[in-house]
Amino acid sequence: MNDRCYKCQSNFRGQAVCPRCGADMTAVLESTQMQQHARNQAFAALAHGDFHAAHQAAERSQTSRLDPSGDSIFGEYMRSQYE
């Protein structure tokens, strides 16, 4: 994982504390883990042809932060509705 600290914008890689400013990154890490889990659920639902569940999981993936993968899942869902 490669992300930026919300306080100082320093790069960090999955650490609970920012190495530059000491900010607590626990909430950021938890949010990222929830986002990844929802994204994985969306891809699994797509693999099983369950476009509604994929759409719901993609929306969950989008709740905390913009996720280009979630956009792709949503696009796949929307295309499926018109085939």
Instruction: Convert the pLDDT of each residue in 10-54 to its tens digit.
Output: 887 778 898 899 988 888 788 788 888 988 999 899 899 898 998
Q: In terms of DSSP bridges, do strands 3-4 and 11-12 run parallel, antiparallel, or are they unpaired?
A: antiparallel
How far lies 53's CA from each of 1, 18, 63, in Å? Answer: 26, 36, 16
Q: Which residues contact 27 (CB under 8 A, 6 or more apart)?
A: none
d(Cα 8, Cα 32) in Å, to the nearest integer?
18
Tell me the domain boundaries of the chain: 3-81
**Is residue 65 pLDDT above 60, yes or no?**
no
User: Whole-angstrom Cα distance, residue 19 to residue 67?
Assistant: 25
